[in-house]
Amino acid sequence: MGGYIAKRIGQALLVILLAYTAVFLAVQALPNDPVTIFLSADSSADPATIAQMKAYYGYDQPLIVQYLNQLGGLFTGDLGYSLSSGSAVSTRIGEVIGSTLILAGSAFALAIVLAVLLTAAASLSRNNTVRKALLNLPPLMISIPVFWLGLVLLQILAVQLGVMSLFPDGSLLALAVPIIVLAIHLSAPIAQVLIKSVQEVNRQPFVDVLRAKGASESWIFYRHTLKNAAPSALSIAGITVGTLLAGSVITETVFARAGLGQLVLQAVTVQDIPLVQGLVLLTAAAFTVVNLLVDLIHPKLDPRIITAHAGSPRALVV
Amino acid sequence: MSLLTERTNNDVTVSSTATAPQRPEPTPTTRSKVRAWLGAWWVLIPLAVLVAWALLPGLFTGADPITGVPQEKLSAPSTAHPFGTDHLGRDVYARVVHGTSQTLMTAGLACLIGSVVGSLLGLLAATAGRFADSVAMRFVDVVLAIPAFLIALILVTATEPGPFSLGLGVGIASIAAFARLVRTEVLRVRARDFVQAALMSGGGYFSVLRRHILPHVIGPILALLAVDLGAAILAISGLGFLGFGSPPPTPEWGLLISEGRQYLTVAWWLTTLPGLVIVAAVMLTATLGRAISKTFRF
C-alpha cells in the first residue's frame, strides 16, 4: 500500500514537471519570444524597448538558465510576471480564482449528485419507457454545447419569463443557473460510465444471490451495486476536471461572470504568454492532483487494484 | 477469454439480444436486407446530408450567407427563411449551411491529427518494448493533464486565431484518447494464440502488425474516430463562440451563436436554431460511433 502511494505521488510530480517542460518548450519553439509577440500589436515599440523589456523579464538569458529560474520560481509560488499588467501572474490569478472555484467546485459536486440520481432513477425505475428515456439522457446531455444551453436558459428565464437578470446581480438564480448549466455538461460522462458499470455489476451472480435472499431492489442498488460500480465512475469524474476549466470559461462568458475565464480570454487576446503559461500550469497541476486523489481513494473502494497490477508490455519482435 | 470479451464489449451485449431474432431469417430478400441495413446504418443518411451541406452548400439554399437584405433584418423564422434572419438581414439557415464546411473541416483536421499520431503512439507503446511504453504513456499523461481547450488556446495565443491553429490544438488534445485505446486493444489482441503462431512461424514486426493485429483493432479506432469528431465539433464551436476561430464575416457555427447572443432579447432564433444543428451533428456522430462498434465487435 505504502509503495503504491509513493509510486503514484512520484508519477504525479513527474507529470506536472513534464507538463511544465512541455509548455516551456512549446513557448521556446515559437518563432519569437513572448515579449516580441506581446509587443507585435503595438507599432510604437522600437527594438530598444523590446530589448530592454526582454532583459527586464529575463528572456535574453540562455534557455537552460531561463528554464531553471522559472522552475525554481515554481517552488516559491512565483509564476513570473504578466506582460500586460506588469503584476505577478500569481497575483492576477489569485484575484479572480475565488469566483471560479465556487462555480467549478459546486458544479462538480452537483454533477456527481446528478449522475448518481440519474443512475438510480434509471436502474430502479420499473417503467420500461421511463427507463429507456433516462438511459438516453446522458448521450443527449453530452451533445449539448455548454454555451448554447446557457444562452437558451437565459433566453427562457431572463427574456421570456423575466425572473432572472441577463447579468450577475447577486441573486440566487444568477448563481444557481451557471452552476446547473456546467453541472449538466459534466454529469453526462460520469452518468454514462456509472450506468454502464451498474449494468455490468448487475450481471454478476452475487446480485442474484442477494435477490434470492429477499433483498429489495433499492437495497441491492444502494448497498451493493453502487458501491461496486463507483470506482470506474470516480476515475471518469477525475478526468472531467480537465473539461471543468473549459466549461467554466465558457459559462463565465455566457453569464458575464468575473473569474479565471475572463482572465484567460484577456491573456489570449493580448498575447500575454507568461500569464497563459501560468494558467496552463495551474490547470495541469489541479488536474493531476485531483486524479492523484482519485487514485489514492481507488484502493479503498476496490483493494484488488493494487494486487492486479499489469506491467509494461515486452517488445513484439525482439 | 469470455470474461475479457464481455468486459470490453459490455455495451454491445445488451443490444445483441434485441437484434438476435432478425438474424436466423432464411434467404433474406432485398427488402429485408435494405431494412436491416437501415436499422444499423440509418445514421449515415443525415450525416450524408451534413457532408453535402459542407461540399455543395449552394444546392440547399439560394440565399447569400455574407450579404443580407437589410429590409428583412431580424425577421422570425418563416417559410422563406426557415431559421429567420440576423441583424444584417442575412438568412441564418444559409449561414448555417455555408458554415458546415468550416466547422467540419476544422473538426476533421483535429480528428486526423489525433487519430494518426495517437494510433501510432499507442501502437508503439504496445509493441516496441517497455521503454517505449513508459515514454509514450507519460507523454499521454501530460497531454491528458492539459485540457484540450488550453492546448488550443496556447496555439491561438502564439500564432493567430484561425481554423488551422484551432484544428491543430484540438487534434493534439485528442491524441491521448487514441493512444490509450490503441494500446489497450493491441495488448488484448497480441496475447491471442494466432499472433504468437504468426510470430513463431517467422512473421516480421510489420507483417504481423498489418495482417494479424490491425484488422482487429481498426473497429474500435473507427468508433472512437466518430465519437471524437463529435467532440471536436463541440470543442471547435465552443472556441469559435469565444472568438478564436475564423474572423466575423465567415459563417462558422460557434461564431454564429456568438453573434446571435447580442440579440438574445429580440431574436431567439439566432442562437437557438444554429445550436440545435450542433446538437444534432454531435448526436449523429455519437450514434455512428455506436453503430460502428456494434458491427466490428470482436
What is this model's ipTM? 0.76
Task: State whether residue B159 is helix, strand or coil.
Answer: coil
Q: Amino acid letter at A240?
A: T
Q: Give the torsion sign (CA, B222, B223, B226, B231).
A: negative
b (16+ CB within 10 A) / e for A57-87: bebeeeeeebbeebeeebeeeebbbbbbeee
Nearest chain A Cα distance for residue B228, angstroms:
12
d(CA B267, CA A238): 39
HEC string for chain A: CHHHHHHHHHHHHHHHHHHHHHHHHHHHCCCCCHHHHHHCCCCCCCHHHHHHHHHHHCCCCCHHHHHHHHHHHHHCCCCCECCCCCCEHHHHHHHHHHHHHHHHHHHHHHHHHHHHHHHHHHHHCCCHHHHHHHHCHHHHHHHCCHHHHHHHHHHHHHHHCCCCCCCCCCCHHHHHHHHHHHHHHHHHHHHHHHHHHHHHHHCCHHHHHHHHCCCCHHHHHHHHHHHHHHHHHHHHHHHHHHHHHHHHHHHHHHCCCCCHHHHHHHHHHCCCHHHHHHHHHHHHHHHHHHHHHHHHHHHHHCCHHHHCCCCCCCECCC
The mean pLDDT value for A112-139 works out to 86
Selected residue with higher pLDDT from A28 and A214: A214
Q: Which of A61, A67, A65, A60 is nearest to A26 (CA)?
A: A67
State the DSSP string of B164-213. Answer: HHHHHHHHHHHHHHHHHHHHHHHHHHHTSHHHHHHHHTT--HHHHIIIII
User: Could you tell me how many CB contacts below 8 A there are between chain A and chain B?
Assistant: 171
Please tell me the distance in Å from B131's CA to the nearest CA on chain A.
8
Q: What's the CATH fold of domain A89-269?
A: MetI-like fold (1.10.3720)
Chain A residues whose CB is inside 8 A of the B208 CB are 316-317
The angle, 0 to 180 degrees and rounded to 10, between the axes of the packed helices A146-154 and B269-295 is 140
Check A143 against B283: CB less than 8 A apart. Answer: yes
Calpha distance B16→A140 (Å, rounded): 22
Q: Is the pLDDT of residue B5 over 60?
A: no
Hey, is the C-beta of B33 within 8 angstroms of any chain A C-beta?
Answer: no
Q: What percent of chain B has pLDDT over 90?
A: 1
Would you say B233 and B109 are in contact if contact means Cβ atoms under 8 Å apart? Answer: no
User: How far off is chain A from B29, nearest CA to CA, in Å?
Assistant: 31
Helix (H, G, I), strand (E, B) or coil at B85: strand
Which of B150, B209, B237 is closest, CB to CB, to A145?
A: B237
Across B1-10, B33-42, B260-269, least confident range: B1-10
- Over range B46-62, report the average pLDDT: 74
- Residue from the list A152, A200, A284 with its beta carbon closest to the beta carbon of B146: A284
Q: Is the pLDDT of residue B9 over 50?
A: no
CB contact under 8 A, B282 and A287: no
DSSP state of B72: G
- For residue A226, pLDDT over 60 is answered with yes
Mean pLDDT for all residues in chain B: 76
Residues 76-135 in B contacting A (C-alpha not used; CB under 8 Å): 125-130, 132-134
**Is some CB atom of chain A closer than 8 A to the CB atom of B184?**
no
Q: Do A151 and B208 touch (CB under 8 A)?
A: no
Answer with the residue of higher pLDDT: A230 or A54: A230
Average pLDDT over residues A19-47: 71
- Is the minimum CB–CB distance between A190 and chain B shorter than 8 Å? no
Q: Which of B123, B134, B146 to substitute to test the interface with A, most A CBs within 10 Å? A: B146
B189, amino acid identity: V
Residues A236 and A231: their CA atoms lie apart, in Å, by 9
B147 close contact with A: CB closer than 8 A: yes
pLDDT of residue A57: 67
User: How is residue B123 written as a grid cell?
Assistant: 501502437
What are B198-238's pLDDT values in tens digits?
888 887 888 888 888 888 888 888 888 888 888 888 888 88
Residue in chain A nearest B136 by alpha carbon = A312
Q: How far apart are CA A291 and CA B8, in angstroms?
A: 23
Name the residue among A105, A94, A95, A97 with its Cα closest to residue A241.
A105
CA atoms B265, B267, B272, B274: torsion sign: negative
Helices A63-75 and A2-28 pack at an angle, to 10 degrees, of 140
Q: Does B164 touch chain A (CB under 8 A)?
A: no
Q: Which of A103-107, A314-318, B191-195 has the highest mean pLDDT?
A: A103-107
Per the DSSP assignment, residues forming a β-bridge with A249 are: none
**The pLDDT value given to residue B194:** 87
Residue B89 has pLDDT above 70, yes or no: no
* Residue B17 forms contact with A (CB below 8 Å): no
Q: How far apart are CA B207 and CA B202, in angstroms?
A: 10
Which chain B residues have a beta carbon less than 8 Å from that of A261? none
pLDDT at B298 over 60: no
Q: Does A282 touch chain B (CB under 8 A)?
A: no
pLDDT higher than threshold 90 for residue A110: yes
| Rounded average pLDDT over A35-55 | 68
What residue ranges do the domains of chain A occupy? Answer: 2-74, 89-269
- Residue A228 CA to its chain's centroid (Å): 25
Instruction: Tell me the per-residue pLDDT of B120-158, one tens digit each, with 9 for 90 and over.
Output: 888 888 888 778 888 888 888 888 777 777 788 777 776
Nearest to A316 among B127, B282, B286 (CB): B127
Residue-level pLDDT at B8: 39
Instruction: Verify whether the Cβ–Cβ distance A287 to B138 is below 8 Å.
Output: no
